[in-house]
Amino acid sequence: DAKTTQPPSMDCAEGRAANLPCNHSTISGNEYVYWYRQIHSQGPQYIIHGLKNNETNEMASLIITEDRKSSTLILPHATLRDTAVYYCIVRVPGFSGNTPLVFGKGTRLSVIA
């Protein structure tokens, strides 16, 4: 089962920041937080991941609380093309190959013009 809890849906106005929360209260010390998104009928797309420090890349920022029990994905200036299902996943990177991604139901983000 997925180890994360996300709201089923959120709306965001175009041009505003989208803040997507994720609860992972049972995360263990060696588990990373990964975010993927899936635009309709496409394969999931990697967004960002982190262990305990905040991370930023060209797509988004990831804020992880100090106790690591929750995190927030921030899309700084949401566009209509950011409308997708966003998945928060915690996992331990494997040594001989990676451990699988366990997808929950995710958050369906609708960006509204």
Partner 1 sequence: KAGVTQTPRYLIKTRGQQVTLSCSPISGHRSVSWYQQTPGQGLQFLFEYFSETQRNKGNFPGRFSGRQFSNSRSEMNVSTLELGDSALYLCASSFSIGQAMNTEAFFGQGTRLTVV
Q: Measured on CA atoms in the order 17, 68, 31, 52, is the torsion positive or negative?
A: positive
Cβ 27 vs Cβ 33: under 8 Å: yes
Check residue 103 for interaction with partner 1 (CB under 8 A).
yes
Residues 6+ apart with CB under 8 A from 3: 24, 26, 27, 31, 90, 102
Cβ 77 vs Cβ 60: under 8 Å: no
The Cα 90–Cα 3 span in angstroms is 7
Among 13, 17, 51, 80, binds partner 1 (CB under 8 A): 51
Among 34, 73, 83, 84, binds partner 1 (CB under 8 A): 34
Q: How far is the CB of 100 from partner 1 (least distance, A)?
A: 4
Taking the least distance from each CB to partner 1, the nearer of 29 and 100 is 100
Return the range that interacts with partner 1 (CB under 8 A); candidates 9-17, 18-26, 41-49, 69-77.
41-49
Tokens of 3: 């180890």
Check residue 46 for interaction with partner 1 (CB under 8 A).
yes
Check residue 49 for interaction with partner 1 (CB under 8 A).
yes
Tokens of 88: 């928060």
Check residue 42 for interaction with partner 1 (CB under 8 A).
yes
Check residue 98 for interaction with partner 1 (CB under 8 A).
yes
